[in-house]
Amino acid sequence: MPKTIQKISAYDKFLSAIHSPMTKVEYVRKLDNYAKYFNIKSWDKYVKRNSDAIHEELEVYIAELKKRGVRNHSIKNALNPVLLLLKMNRVATHDKILKTQLRRDGKTTAGHEPYKTEEIQLMLDVTKELRSKALVHFWASTGCRPASVIDPVLRLKHLVEMPHDCTAMKIYDESDQGYWAFLTPEATKILRHYLQSRKINGEKLDDESPVFINSHDSHGTRGEPITIRSVREIMYRIIRKAGVQRIKIGPRYDKAAIYAFRHRFNKILKINNSVNSNIAEKLMAHKKGLDGVYLNPTREECFAEFVKAIPELTINRQAKLQLENELQQEKIIETEALRKQVRDLESRIDEMDKEKIESLIDVKSEKFKSLEDKVAELVKNHEHLSAFIAHDPEYYKRFILDEKKRLDEKEKSDNKQN
């Protein structure tokens, strides 16, 4: 007897087309809203209905959402799960007609304003819970999307210690969307306190432990990963308690609860001219143009650009001033070390016979001849030397090392001849 083919339900076909856990949660919720509105009990029966009747219901649903003040972009998002279910069950829909009804309305959209640093400081001031503080610092320091902590779950194995007391985090690990985000020194400090408090309360932390958990009473076991619902509830509560001013535009606010951190992060990176713009896009998890596809900077290269923005990303004013002083001190030490190298090189030049030094120079190379003239001028005029160092210290470092190498080789050669 031939095997009986078990049919796949219309709803299971819909679920099979969704790969992201976060997307699945959102799509199921929006599909349930549609089912409740039309009192749909069985999707298997629904997909067998006349396609024109289904299209009319889609138009009715669009009209209803518009009456409620829902923006066209949000209506599209509400329809996407329904359209996916119909598509997976081979039900034809008039997508072009639906899109015509949902064109951009040209009105000011909500959710694009960034938080001010002072507002984030207020959030930190009004909460005593370490998990809440760690979450606020996480969003402010990384500019990550809400799903970054749960889709897939962000775990301790994704954390790497970095210089300057910073932390690297691999977001969306084992995915083609994966990228490196970083925590500032103050954000790293709070996260360490939060993890330490979980250990003290009996949780056994290992590489598979979630960075953020749903509860604090794990009683010696691994805590359950935080849910997106918990994240939003925590942030809504903190925002209300801090009294952060948000203007309502339609059903939404000008400052989205979590995305306002992301807009702040983006603004700080983009207005800092010293930050490489292509790597800034990588830190935002954007994929634009050919660089978005072919440019794959290393963790260290991304971190080097992130470091430039740390002072502006830092929330606490005192910590910010301390950090700026430390960075300034590092520059002073580096500059002094460079100047000492220059003085040592000048001393050696004075000791050696100028004619023998000139014999090492390829007079046929106009580029090197120009460099020789520049060095001669700088040696005579220390003010010009300082200016040159300040303008391009990395270039001068390389020149000093090359010149030292040539002088060492010359000394060895002279010693052999003597």
pLDDT class of 393 with cuts at 50, 70, 90: low
Q: Are residues 272 and 288 in the same domain?
A: yes
Is residue 54's pLDDT more than 70? yes
Of the candidates 81, 190, 205, the one whose C-alpha atom is nearest the C-alpha of residue 139 is 190
Q: Which structure tokens are listed for 240? A: 């209300």
Domain boundary among the residues 101, 133, 166 is at: 101
| Domain annotation covers residue 111 | no
Of the candidates 230, 211, 222, 215, the one whose C-alpha atom is nearest the C-alpha of residue 171 is 211
| Domain annotation covers residue 238 | yes
Choice among 38-47, 263-272, 344-353 with the minimum mean pLDDT: 344-353
Question: What is the pLDDT at residue 131?
Answer: 95
Nearest-angstrom CA–CA distance, 196 and 177: 30
Question: What is the pLDDT at residue 366?
Answer: 47
Question: What is the pLDDT at residue 199?
Answer: 92
Give the number of domains in the chain. Answer: 3
Question: What is the pLDDT at residue 337?
Answer: 72
Q: Are residues 37 and 180 in the same domain?
A: no
Phi, psi (rounded to 5 degrees) for 109: -90, 150
Domain boundary among the residues 315, 343, 371 is at: 315
Q: Which structure tokens are listed for 229? A: 């619902």
| Domain annotation covers residue 298 | yes
Q: Are residues 393 and 255 in the same domain?
A: no
Q: Are residues 32 and 152 in the same domain?
A: no
Of the candidates 126, 130, 135, 127, the one whose C-alpha atom is nearest the C-alpha of residue 198 is 130
| Domain annotation covers residue 37 | yes
Question: What is the pLDDT at residue 402?
Answer: 72
| Domain annotation covers residue 109 | no
Q: Which domain holds residue 18?
A: 10-101
Is residue 363's pLDDT more than 50? no
Q: Are residues 260 and 391 in the same domain?
A: no
pLDDT in tens, 182-224: 999 999 999 999 999 999 988 999 999 999 998 754 455 678 8
Q: Identify the bridge partners of residue 168 per DSSP, sorted by sequence position.
A: 160, 182
Q: Are residues 289 and 362 in the same domain?
A: no
Q: Are residues 259 and 173 in the same domain?
A: yes
Q: Are residues 299 and 332 in the same domain?
A: no
Is residue 311's pLDDT more than 70? yes
| Domain annotation covers residue 56 | yes
pLDDT class of 122 with cuts at 50, 70, 90: very high
Specify the CATH number for the domain of residue 167: 1.10.443.10
Nearest-angstrom CA–CA distance, 302 and 206: 27
Question: What is the pLDDT at residue 316?
Answer: 85
pLDDT in tens, 81-117: 999 999 999 998 888 888 888 876 656 567 789 999 9
Q: Are residues 36 and 124 in the same domain?
A: no
Q: Kindly state the percentage of the chain with pLDDT values over 90.
A: 47
| Domain annotation covers residue 197 | yes
Q: Are residues 151 and 292 in the same domain?
A: yes
The pTM of this model reads: 0.66
Q: Are residues 125 and 84 in the same domain?
A: no
**R_g of the chain, CA atoms, integer Å:** 30
Q: Identify the bridge partners of residue 162 per DSSP, sorted by sequence position.
A: 166
Mean of pLDDT values over 288-293: 54
Is residue 346's pLDDT more than 80? no
| Domain annotation covers residue 2 | no
Using CB atoms within 10 A of its CB, is residue 354 exposed (0-12), middle (13-18) or buried (19+)?
A: exposed
Domain boundary among the residues 280, 315, 350 is at: 315
Name the residue with higher pLDDT: 324 or 378: 324
Q: Are residues 153 and 232 in the same domain?
A: yes
DSSP characters over 128-168: --HHHHHHHHHHHHH---GGGGBTTBPBGGGEEEEGGGEEE
pLDDT in tens, 125-164: 999 999 999 999 999 999 999 888 988 899 999 999 999 9
Mean of pLDDT values over 14-43: 90
